[in-house]
Amino acid sequence: MKANKWIVPLLMLTMVFFSSCQDYLDFEPENTIPAEGFFETQEHAEQAVNSIYAHFRSWEMVSFAFIIMQEVPSDNAVKGSAVGDASFINDYDNFAFTPNQFVLKDYWAGRYRGINKANQAITNIPAITMNESLKTRLIGEAKFLRALLYFDLVRAYGDVPTPLSVPVGPEINFRTPKAKVYEYIEQDLLDAMAVLPDTYDASNKGRATAGAAKGLLAKVYLYMERWGDAERLATEVVSSGKYSLESNFYNVFRVAAENGPESVFEIQAQQIEGNWGVSFSQHAEVQSVRGQWGWGFNIPTDDLAAAFDAAGDQIRKAATILYKGDTTPDGDIIAGVPSLEGIEGTPRYNGKAYYPPAQQLFGPYGSGQNIRVLRFSEILLIQAEARIRQGNASGAVEPLKLVRNRVNLPEINSPTLDDVLLERRLELAMEGDRFFDLVRTGKAASVLASKGFVAGKHEVFAVPQELIDLSEGNLTQNPGY
């Protein structure tokens, strides 16, 4: 049982951006308490920030919308599950989705729910009489989390509305240019870096740290093509001595390694007897072995398997792809089902979502599994990519070597950009980055052409049509939809 009890959402704030019209961000969250009379005490401030963390493990954040929009459109994954089950997911695999697809709204709305909570905290906590050091830290945590939410949105939709405080007026219905969104993300992370601690005590483990803010901003700088800044921050994280690689790749995704030395930031979840409904996630359940533990969606492709084989990378392949008939290192036999939609041959599943059932205590399968958001191995790969982008291939040798040595792959003495990008694919497969990586590196049009990707259109998803209608046309659509 995990000890970080702070992750339990003690409340879900009632949050309304403005009342002048029926707004697409005006939601009725569960377990609400009135905002009136709140944000008056230190306990309120802590509860408000805890509720942001809690939101990250919600259905809209880490379940269907996450796998459908961040992996299925890539060459790593296809729908899976039974033929005909949730057939709309195939529309994302072949780029046939329309602005009326509810998944687009789930992804959008889930992230704005979190932004709403963050804005409530950032706006209201400064006026509370409380421990000033804690106040500063809590605001820094809220800014880190808001930056992470906006990073999801800008990668998925491009220009997006950017409310930064409450209350918010009609400007919520107008899209902010992508470059400006990235500036807001950068500033939030700079602010967070300046005030967050390097570590926490055991009871607060898993909260955002200065290292997490630096690591996320280094990643953001890759998208902004600010290679020198990406290298600088990645190097600061590497040189800090706060992080290291787990020796066994398979163990990285198991419960014992949660919030361990490789964890830069992860979404917290846990099983709590009698109260699992407020602390769990369904991230593992929707992807795990169909007919045995889960629903079997988001399954690895033959193309991903072939990429592992071509690289001689059997260690990461075995941890990432669970085939029917396999026995895991934890001793579980993968029974599965005879067939899955989207593949021919042996059924397979996302091994990173596997949760040894012997550790299941309460709630849905895998409900206590943390979701890895940023790992130290990715920081090393950011450092390597940023150096190569600046013409320093020799500087990429060491970080690339560290990542490859863990899985018994040889050193690359003169690495190229393609070497690093392939390493990203193999290291981070099924973790939600592949589609966005293909877009940001300009490879999506060629790699995904056979799936129906259209250059100039599918680099971003459609803005949900319902929200455009609610805004009376002020919220505009992306080109081609």
Q: Rounded to an integer, what distance in angstroms lies between the CA atom of residue 377 and that of residue 379? A: 5
Q: What is the pLDDT of residue 17?
A: 32
Asked if residue 15 has pLDDT above 90, the reply is no
Per-residue tokens: 323: 């085939």
Per-residue model confidence (pLDDT) at position 1: 39
Kindly report, residue by residue over 72-103, the tens digit of the pLDDT. 999 999 999 999 999 999 999 999 999 999 99
Percent over 90 (pLDDT), the chain: 86
pLDDT tens digits for 238-257? 999 999 999 999 999 999 99
Structure tokens at 458: 């599918």
- Residues 6+ positions from 64 with CB-CB distance below 8 Å: 86, 103, 106, 286, 297
Burial (CB < 10 A; 0-12, 13-18, 19+), residue 362, is middle
CA distances from 340 to 69, 81, 206, 309 (A): 20, 5, 36, 22
pLDDT value, residue 108: 98
* Alpha-carbon separation of residue 299 from 123, 319, 336 (angstroms): 41, 13, 12
The CA-atom distances, in angstroms, between 19 and each of 98, 357, 468 are 30, 47, 18
Section 428-454 average pLDDT: 98
d(CA 225, CA 13): 37
User: Residue ranges of the alpha helices (H) in 390-456?
Assistant: 393-406, 417-428, 434-440, 444-447
Helix (H, G, I), strand (E, B) or coil at 328: coil
Residue 19 has pLDDT above 70, yes or no: no
Please provide residue 138's backbone torsions phi and psi, each rounded to the nearest 5 degrees: -65, -40
Predicted pLDDT at 278: 66
| Cα(121)–Cα(115) distance, integer angstroms | 10
Residue 349 and residue 301 in contact, taking contact as beta carbons nearer than 8 Å: no
Average pLDDT estimate for 473-480 = 97
Main-chain phi, psi angles of 61, to 5 degrees: -90, -40
* Tens of pLDDT, residues 181-213: 999 999 999 999 999 999 999 999 999 999 999
Q: What does the radius of gyration of the chain's CA atoms come to, in whole angstroms?
A: 21
When mean pLDDT is compared across 9-18, 175-184, 200-209, the lowest value belongs to: 9-18
pLDDT at 267: 97
Domains of the chain plus CATH, in order, are 42-166+175-196+460-480 (1.25.40.390)
More confident call, 9 vs 91: 91
Q: Is the pLDDT confidence value at 366 over 50?
A: yes
pLDDT band, very low/low/confident/very high, at 420 (cuts 50, 70, 90): very high
| The pLDDT of residue 9 is above 90 | no
pLDDT value at residue 11: 37
- Mean pLDDT over the full length of the chain: 92
Residue 130's pLDDT is what?
A: 98
Token pair 């209608």 in the structure block, residue: 469
Average pLDDT value for residue range 27-38? 54
| Choice among 257-261, 263-267, 269-273, 407-411 with the minimum mean pLDDT | 269-273
Give the C-alpha distances (Å, rounded to integers) separating 49 from 323, 328, 445.
40, 38, 40
Q: What is the pLDDT of residue 170?
A: 83
Which residue in this structure is represented by tokens 């299925």?
72
Residues comprising the chain, all counted: 481
* Under 8 Å between Cβ of 55 and 114: yes
Whole-model pTM over 0.85: yes
pLDDT at 216 over 90: yes
Provide the β-strand partners of residue 371: 267
d(CA 346, CA 425) in angstroms, rounded, equals 22
What per-residue confidence (pLDDT) applies to 27?
37
Cα–Cα distance for residue pair 65/438, rounded to 1 Å: 19
Tell me the percentage of the chain whose pLDDT exceeds 70: 92
Average pLDDT score over residue span 343-354:
96
Q: Read off the tokens for 397.
A: 């040798």
Q: What whole-number distance in Å separates Cα of residue 119 and Cα of residue 114?
A: 9
CA distance 15 to 367: 27
Opening angle at CA 54, ends 52 and 56, nearest 5 = 80
- Rounded to an integer, what is the distance from CA 255 to the centroid of its chain? 18
